[in-house]
Structure 1
Amino acid sequence: MAAAAKRHPTPVFLFSHGTTMMLGEESEPAEFWRSVGDEALRRGIRSIIMMGAHWECTGDKIQVAMNPNPQKTPVAYVAPRRYANFELTPDIPLANRVIGMLRKAGFDAEPNPTFNFIHDTFLILIRMFPTEKTNIPAVIVSANARFDPYYHIKVGSTLRPLRYENVLIIGSGGTVHNLYRNHWMQMVLHRDNFAQPTPPGQFALEFRQAMEDAFTMNCGPMLRRVVARLMKHPMYRDAHGTDDHFISAAFVAGAAGDQEDADAPNAFRAECWELVNMANTQFQLGLWEPAERR
């Protein structure tokens, strides 16, 4: 008798976003995320779980969005017509299950029945599904405001089993995202977020390379260790003036850093720079299931 085929987990994605490149203009990352959406629909992905960069809870808490009719918060420098009519589809049953999984793992997890989607999550859904509706329902998980990398790695590892149930896990943050070090004049005067009147600073180039090395040269449990250590990188604080845009990297490292992921390659997929010093790099952790096994 032939042995049963080994289950294959869905890949995990790290989405590095900037100001308006995903909504206001075409870019290499925008095109990449459209291809991810097409592939997810083709393979029948049933749901998406995302941790963004602009929602965190104080104390020991972590929350899961449970608003059945979420709205969208405004996006700076982007005309509302580009996103106002996009219809969000939350996955309330899966959100309840996520809360249960987190509580079982020891987290002080609770529902948030009033949370509205923020641009760090809904703008990627718009690019993935360029109609006016989230074709695959989504669950949004908050970060914790202490920004402990090991806490967020554990959140990712706790939800990792859902990858075997045709669920995509996505972290939304930034490779280099320090608003204090950006060059805003071209954006303020000309709405040109892609203008690069000077090369990126050395701090940005160094940390961007450290991120790529961490994700593309490590897998399995080693990935979790090197991502956590990035917060001690000498250029970390210059690259991230606050921790909120980095912490989703720890979340996806947890979701894609199990021993079973040790042989799954991680890859750089797309990138653009904005406002001179903001690097938006997209990573795919693991592979889609081979077509011949589906």
Structure 2
Amino acid sequence: MSANRLPVWFIPHGGGPCFFMDPPPKAPDAWKKMEAYLRGISAAAGARPRAILIISGHWLEKRPTVTAGANPPLIYDYQGFPKHTYELRYPAPGDPRLAAEVVARLKQAGIEAGEDKERGFDHGVFIPLLLLYPQADIPVVQLSLVDSMDPKTHIAIGEALAPLRDDGVLIIGSGMSFHNLQNFYGADPRLLQIAEKFDAFLHEAIGLDPAPRAQALAGWDNAPGARISQPHEDHLIPLMVAAGAAGADRGVRDYYDHVFGAPISGYRFG
């Protein structure tokens, strides 16, 4: 293990382009704490990464797939927001060499993988990165989820990619620990109380040693409040990749807040 090993993060990426809009009148500070957290990650990471590998909850494929273009475009995969939010730019270069290495490492681990040279970065990538590394001068590769959403598969993907941390690659899972849009804005307080139990489950699970952590996360949907917090788990599964990439590093919750009443957390490993 390198003394310069980079941490791994699971971050909340907010709601659409929320950090780049006027705040909601009834909750003007709703996204402020999350924005400050995301802006602080580059300093918390310590060394400047040579590249970023980010897993977003907004890209699903039959097999893990990486963006492999030299200059990936942006995908404005949100609807109904102000015009200027469709003019946001994040011209970070891709990294075809890293993309090929990701595929090679996954195949060495017995995980079939592929490249996509045309796909761009969705908002689960460019929105948080506009806060983490606004200069857009660090190469970025996005990794898809597997549409089976199997937790063990994604933990194994992370385990296969963990050595990249010793080679200057910052691995980030981008999603939301609470992602129930029907019970978000103006949510039922009774449901949010149950969601607190799921947040507590995640907080305990990520602090465990690797084997019990993986076991706990693999059974996440049996935890109290699981399906209230994650009716469709696309925004949770990036945490599994991050936990796998953590190796022996225990996780800590380095962000916790309530946004429109919902508990939302972020986690750092290493």
Q: Identity over aligned residues, as a percent?
A: 25
Q: Write the letter of the residue equivalent to 1:173.
A: G
Aligned counterparts of 2:209 and 2:128: Cα–Cα separation in 1: 25
Inter-partner Cα distance in structure 2 for 1:167 and 1:11: 9
Cα displacement string for residues 179-223 of structure 1 (whole angstroms, at most 9, x for unaligned residues) = 232236xxxxxxxxxxx89686222111112111212x3133322
Structure 2 equivalent of residue 156 of structure 1: 158
Residue in 2 that maps onto 1:276? 261
- 1:89 aligned to which of 69, 72, 93: 93
1:226-245 → structure 2 map (5 Å cutoff): 226-245=216-235
Q: Aligned pair 1:33/2:41, yes or no?
A: no
Q: State the shift of 1:39 in Å.
A: 4.7
In the TM superposition, what is the alpha-carbon distance from 1:166 to its structure 2 partner?
1.6
Match of 2:103 among 99, 105, 108: 99
Between stretches 11-20 and 243-252, larger displacement belongs to: 11-20
Q: Is the 8 A contact 1:18 1:280 kept in 2?
A: no
Q: Which runs of 5+ in 2 are unaligned?
A: 24-30
Residues in 2 aligned to 1:200 and 1:237: alpha-carbon distance in whole angstroms: 11
CA contact (8 A) 2:251 2:268 kept: yes
1:285 pairs with 2:269: yes
Structure 1 match to 2:142: 140
> What secondary structure does 2:64 align onto?
strand
Q: Which runs of 5+ in 1 are unaligned?
A: 185-195, 287-294
Structure 2 counterpart SS, 1:201: helix
Question: SS at 1:108's partner residue?
Answer: coil
In structure 1, give the amino acid aligned to 2:103. Answer: I
In 2 relative to 1, CA 239–137 (structure 1 residues): closer, same or farther, beyond 3 Å? same
Q: 1:232 Cα shift? A: 1.9
Q: Which residue of 1 aligns with 2:181?
A: 179
Q: Which residue in the other structure is 2:192 paired with? A: 201
**Aligned with 2:10 (options 8, 11, 14):** 14
Match of 1:187 in 2: none
Q: Quick check: which has more Rg, 1 or 2?
A: 1
**Partners of 2:107 and 2:19 in 1: how far apart?**
34
Any idea what the Cα deviations from partners look like across 1:139-194, whole Å, max 9, x if unmatched? 1110111111110000000000111112111101111111232236xxxxxxxxxx
One-letter amino acid of the structure 2 residue matched with residue 29 of structure 1: M
* 1:38 Cα deviation after fit: 3.5
- The amino acid of 1:223's aligned partner reads R
Of the candidates 241, 248, 252, which is equivalent to residue 242 of structure 2? Answer: 252
Amino acid in the other structure paired with 1:124:
P
Tell me the TM-score normalized by structure 1: 0.80
Tell me the distance in 2 between the aligned counterparts of 1:241 and 1:197: 15
Letter in 2 for 1:267: V
Contact 1:152 1:250 in 2 (8 A): yes
- Supply the distance in 2 between the matched residues of 1:76 and 1:274 (Cα, whole angstroms): 20
Could you say what secondary structure the match of 2:103 adopts? helix
Paired with 1:162 and 1:255, the residues of 2 have a C-alpha distance of 9
Q: Which moved more, 1:8-17 or 1:109-118?
A: 8-17
1:121 to 105, 122, 125: 125
Report if aligned partners of 2:149, 2:233 keep a CA contact under 8 Å in 1.
yes
